[in-house]
Structure 1
Amino acid sequence: MAAKVTFMASDSDDSTLHRSGPGGSYLVLASQRSGSTLLVESLRATGIAGNPEEYFQYLPTTSAAPQPREWFAGVTDPQVLALLDPLDPGVPAAETSSQWRERILQAGRSDNGVWGGKLMWNQTPLLVDRAAGLPDRSGSDLRTAIADVLGDVLLIKVSRENVVDQAVSFWRAVQTRVWRGKADPERDARAQYNADGIAHLVTELRNQEAGWRAWFADNGITPFEVSYEELTADTTKVVAAILEALELDPAAAPPPDLEKQGDARSNEWAERYRHDAASRGLPL
């Protein structure tokens, strides 16, 4: 019998309200540059909320996360591609699906048994494909893949309303390959504004958000919602609420310890992109 996927529901629908108890699991659902790293690093810092990482991002063909040019598959603009590192062939993954699951379950647990992880919409096909090889696979869709790999899990959705700022952050990160903390000064100095590169990522991020929302609607899921705005305004409050939902001690929520990557340059690029989008009909 397949394990169920836990999800949060509205107060008016108590029949579908489930929570992982102490020692349970949670999965942060997001898109890149949405604030999910701030959330999972803050949860990790509690010492009681697992070791959340992006366990499902690694491509079986390279054993690596998507490389900058892989985010721009199908893009032929030489001015965009010239700003991105060439591809590294990597090494194909050799784990069986059962070994893959066991490694993820062990790596994501804190000492008290709580497991945490993060999943982006673009990674969902990878999760489904890897789960297909499990000997106890109970279905072929994403919901059963999550259940078969993780068991009973609380779904936490992180969203960022300002997609232009999110795409600008994404564009800088794919050029610098720095995904948390301050960008490397030397690499960041080489990063360049490009409206078409940002436009491609605006579309990618909007498609990811639409994918999550359609999946929630199709499966009757109302996740625990976290916005980038509330997360950056009061990280401790958001983490405390999640700990409480997991029936863990909310007093363990730490103050934020990650530096925001966005700066004056990010703001300048975002405003410049909005101007270019208005004049060129680029997506917002």
Structure 2
Amino acid sequence: MPNPRSYLVLASQRSGSTLLVETLRATGIAGHPQEFFQYLPHSGLAPQPREWFATVDDPAVVDLLDPLDHGTPITEDAVAWRDRILLEGSTPNGVWGGKLMWNQTPLLVDRAAGLPGRSGDDLQSAIADTVGEVAFVKVTRRNVVEQAVSFWRAVQTRVWRGATAPELDARAEYHRDGIAHLVRVLRDQETGWRAWFADTGITPIEVDYDDLAGDTSAVLDRVLKALDLEPQHLPERALHKQGNTRSSEWADRYLDDAERWGLPT
């Protein structure tokens, strides 16, 4: 049998990457992939809603988002950080899994800078020095407007996975400029990943959001085979799509606004 492969799922927010990593995790043979690299050093927290809108000064947008939590600064040293990530992300067969968003790449590079015996100071070196040799799995959602709508709802409700309670969903409000900002953020992230692949010559395992949502089992089998792991019976699906008719209505409304106001799509 080939040696099992460790892997890093590369994505942007609301692209379906959580469905993929949770399905891989449920197999029991494909690591325990988590979003290890999202935590900001000044707070120990993932980026909060208002931090995604740090360059937006329109109160009509910002006031729809919760105030910032102070959190607790990270004090863990780089070696302890690396050792914990390797332990928490691995299954007994030696496979490690993780997830990385483009906005998190500077955080990974900065944290890896404190490791001894560095092989370089770029992103590729930071990944290798932190988690070793990995295969790359790129998840892409082609409909960026729908992705941004999902993102905009999530930053208002702070529900990032699973069903949103009706009372929380009701607090989310449509705002074309909030969605437009996130369309730009997501476009920039995709541009960043594609430029990095071109610069490094990396060819990732490609996963399309629509394929993943439509036939999760087939995508799981394809990814496992690419990682030299045995295909598995699809675990009971742990996540359900959060989008609903409201998401579709907002996406259509935004497309109308984009045409009228010259907003990005």
Shared fold per TM-score greater than 0.5: yes
Instruction: Determine if contact 1:160/1:229 at 8 Å carries over to the other structure.
Output: yes
What is the one-letter code of the residue matched to 2:201? Answer: G
Q: Show the counterpart of 2:155.
A: 174
- Farther-moved stretch of structure 1 (149-158 vs 252-261): 252-261
Q: Give yes or no for the alignment of 1:105 onto 2:120.
A: no
For residues 54-107 of structure 1, give each alpha carbon's deviation from its aligned partner in whole angstroms, at most 9, with x where no partner exists.
000000110000000000011000010111000011110000000110111101
1:75-224 mapped onto 2 (5 Å cutoff): 75-224=56-205
Shift, 1:252, TM fit: 4.0
For residues 15-74 of structure 1, give each alpha carbon's deviation from its aligned partner in whole angstroms, at most 9, with x where no partner exists.
xxxxx832x310000000000001000001101111111000000110000000000011
- Cα distance in 1 for residues equivalent to 2:20 and 2:232: 16
- Cα distance in 2 for residues equivalent to 1:138 and 1:166: 36
**Deviation >3 Å, runs of 4+:** none
Shift, 1:242, TM fit: 1.2
- Farther-moved stretch of structure 1 (108-117 vs 26-35): 108-117
Shift, 1:165, TM fit: 0.1
The structure 1 residue matched to 2:3, chosen from 16, 21, 42, is: 21
Q: Give yes or no for the alignment of 1:234 onto 2:215.
A: yes
Q: Give yes or no for the alignment of 1:64 onto 2:64.
A: no
Unaligned runs of 5+ in 1: 1-19
The structure 2 residue matched to 1:246, chosen from 224, 227, 250, is: 227
For residues 199-223 of structure 1, give each alpha carbon's deviation from its aligned partner in whole angstroms, at most 9, with x where no partner exists.
0000000000000000000111111
Q: Show the counterpart of 2:242.
A: 261
Shift, 1:234, TM fit: 0.7
- Farther-moved stretch of structure 1 (35-44 vs 246-255): 246-255
What is the one-letter code of the residue matched to 2:111? Answer: R
| Secondary structure class of the residue paired with 1:167 | helix
Q: Show the counterpart of 1:281.
A: 262
Shift, 1:271, TM fit: 0.4
Shift, 1:245, TM fit: 1.6
Unaligned runs of 5+ in 2: none
What is the one-letter code of the residue matched to 2:134? Answer: V
RMSD, matched Cα: 1.0
Shift, 1:185, TM fit: 2.0
TM-score (norm 1): 0.91
Identity value in percent = 67
TM-score (norm 2): 0.97
Q: How many residues align?
A: 264
- Cα distance in 2 for residues equivalent to 1:184 and 1:210: 34
Instruction: Determine if contact 1:52/1:118 at 8 Å carries over to the other structure.
Output: yes
